[in-house]
Chain A
């Protein structure tokens, strides 16, 4: 029954199929491509978190808070308990972020627009302010994260971690797709369009936003945890500072809100755009990134995904 319902949804079958292909391709590519894809997919997971909010019309300019929380949860878990198992790490990162998101959600669910963005920014900078000044947490240098183990087994390559990231990505993307199709998920766009009408339908807008916020925090926290495992290092400036939040929002603009697959495509594209920009013009990569951001806002407001939506075969299908 469930399987039938799932396979009826084309997005889900496409997502599962392309991630499966990616998993096979991962076996054949050189290490640097594998690394780049890992970073990209991990960031994509965080951007998927932002997408949940963006569809409601909320832009968080402080999601580095959850990204950083996830990453530091993984690092501190190892420092104090020595646990390096991938599943425990992932669960701890996700749970930490979700718990903090749940608490802050009570405040943030009453804010909209620019105030939502600014309050998120303030919360993330509070964490940043704590991290860069506390010696126990590694201060500005951060500290390193050891190799990830899987149920006691210490893999020699990064491929198992890559598989884990892919698996998490699939589960998250499919889960979100099911969520968006549910009654609660349909509220997402309804809240953006007209909050008062949603209230009259008998739903609580504040509660709907709160749920989305916790989901979003959990996804971003898991992403931060995976990113820390892939990088083998945590530090405040590249994980918690406001520029990281800006980067994540940039990728969501680049990807567009059209599909749950878009964040992953956008994030991997961003990762390689940056790698190549670094190679070609080390002092101009921010210029390229910033210019792209402006260009997308001005000329492609629904992101890269809208290019895919315009493909002839998709348009035919939509007409059917």
Chain B
């Protein structure tokens, strides 16, 4: 019983983390048809910016809860600056290329973002444990867990709710649905598709950065952290269906639970199961488990 609870909570925490990182990736693909490897770069930048600013705040003796504001601020900054610059300066020139070529271009961007981190922050790891210490720990099923990790679940729910709200209940959501359905017709009826693309990309980048920023206090922020993360979020997005937000939710839940189960029962299969499932899904239903077959929706 206790083992099951532990496994469930582990899986849920990991799934929430994966969802926050992957949802931006899936939104950008849904709207712009770009499978964005550079999303991993936003993740890493978010993590570094948060770890650095939390460190600075601690240096000036500010209270530990300031860390949460720093996390929000750094993901917004990273998302807005990089999202805007990259969409305007580079991706804009690539829209007429094939999807696969754009994928490669984002790989180039990923490499550039990785090294910009080294140039700006250096090679030494950063630690920003203050927000984690601030929230303390709690006894659950006989095991002490830090509240900070559990708060990831709440953050994931908030992110999911915000995405659902924007897409289903606002004017922006309706405009987005139109752009996804048919770009040319949207242009014809007077939707400014360029603006939509810029904002979508900024939104996606901010979510990627938020994933990195929020996880930063629990890890040592060191070069190369995004290499494993980006390929895992690819698996999440592919399993659920590229471009679908409920798909990302279900994909994240599946990968999170599978991985937690593997770590507890068969540690040597940890990565294997995730990518085996990804391969099987692509073989049977390339459009993803929960995506509608024809019309791509978000």
**Residues of A bordering B, CB below 8 Å:** 59, 61, 107, 111, 113-115, 117-119, 121-123, 125-126, 128-130, 132-134, 241-243, 246, 249-250, 253, 283-287, 289-294, 297-298
Contact present for A294 and B272 (CB under 8 Å):
no
Task: Beyond the given A133-B270, A243-B227, please list 15 additional residue pairs across the A-B interface where CB-CB is below 8 A.
Answer: A111-B286, A114-B35, A126-B272, A129-B269, A129-B270, A129-B274, A242-B227, A283-B123, A285-B115, A290-B108, A290-B115, A293-B104, A297-B94, A297-B101, A298-B94
Contacts of A61 in B (CB 8 A): 103
CB A120 to nearest CB in B, in angstroms, measures 10
Closest chain B residue, CB of each to CB of A253: B104
Q: Using known A-B contacts A133-B271, A134-B268, determine if residue A287 contacts B279 with beta carbons closer than 8 Å.
A: no
A-B residue pairs, 9 tightest by C-beta: A290-B111, A129-B271, A293-B108, A287-B115, A129-B272, A122-B279, A290-B112, A125-B275, A283-B118
Q: Using known A-B contacts A128-B271, A130-B272, A297-B94, determine if residue A122 contacts B278 with beta carbons closer than 8 Å.
A: yes
Q: How far is the CA of A285 from the CA of B242 in the complex (A)?
A: 32
Contact present for B107 and A118 (CB under 8 Å):
no
Contact present for A246 and B107 (CB under 8 Å):
yes
Contacts of B242 in A (CB 8 A): 114
Interface check B253, CB cutoff 8 A: no
Task: Give per-residue flags for B100-126: 1 if the beta carbon is below 8 A from chain A beta carbons, else 0.
Answer: 110111011111101110110001000
Contact present for B282 and A111 (CB under 8 Å):
yes
Which of the four size classes fits the interface of chain B? Answer: 35 or more
Contact present for A114 and B100 (CB under 8 Å):
yes
Contacts of B273 in A (CB 8 A): 129
Closest chain A residue, CB of each to CB of B110: A290
Task: Give per-residue flags for B221-254: 1 if the beta carbon is below 8 A from chain A beta carbons, else 0.
Answer: 0000001000100110010001000000000000
Contacts of B101 in A (CB 8 A): 59, 297
Within 8 A of A (CB), among B98-153: 98-101, 103-105, 107-112, 114-116, 118-119, 123
Interface check B295, CB cutoff 8 A: no
Contact present for A287 and B97 (CB under 8 Å):
no
CB A241 to nearest CB in B, in angstroms, measures 7
User: Among B101, B273, B283, which residue has the most Cβ atoms of chain A within 10 A?
Assistant: B283
Contacts of A133 in B (CB 8 A): 267-272
Interface check B276, CB cutoff 8 A: yes
Q: How far is the CA of A113 from the CA of B282 in the complex (A)?
A: 13
Contact present for A286 and B112 (CB under 8 Å):
yes
Q: How far is the CA of A40 from the CA of B90 in the complex (A)?
A: 30
- Within 8 Å by CB of A118, from B123, B238, B272, lies B238
Closest chain B residue, CB of each to CB of A117: B100
Contacts of A290 in B (CB 8 A): 107-112, 114-115
Q: How far is the CA of A249 from the CA of B102 in the complex (A)?
A: 13
Contacts of A119 in B (CB 8 A): 279, 282-283, 286
Q: Using known A-B contacts A125-B275, A287-B115, determine if residue A297 contacts B105 with beta carbons closer than 8 Å.
A: yes
Contact present for A293 and B105 (CB under 8 Å):
yes
Q: How far is the CA of A117 from the CA of B107 in the complex (A)?
A: 13
Interface check B93, CB cutoff 8 A: yes
Contact present for B271 and A125 (CB under 8 Å):
yes
CB A5 to nearest CB in B, in angstroms, measures 35
Q: Using known A-B contacts A113-B98, A290-B110, A294-B108, determine if residue A118 contacts B270 with beta carbons closer than 8 Å.
A: no
Contacts of A115 in B (CB 8 A): 282, 286
Contacts of B283 in A (CB 8 A): 107, 119
Contacts of A128 in B (CB 8 A): 271, 275
Contacts of B276 in A (CB 8 A): 126, 129
Q: How far is the CA of A125 from the CA of B279 in the complex (A)?
A: 9
User: Among A107, A111, A118, A289, which residue has the most Cβ atoms of chain B within 10 A?
Assistant: A118
Q: How far is the CA of A59 from the CA of B272 in the complex (A)?
A: 23
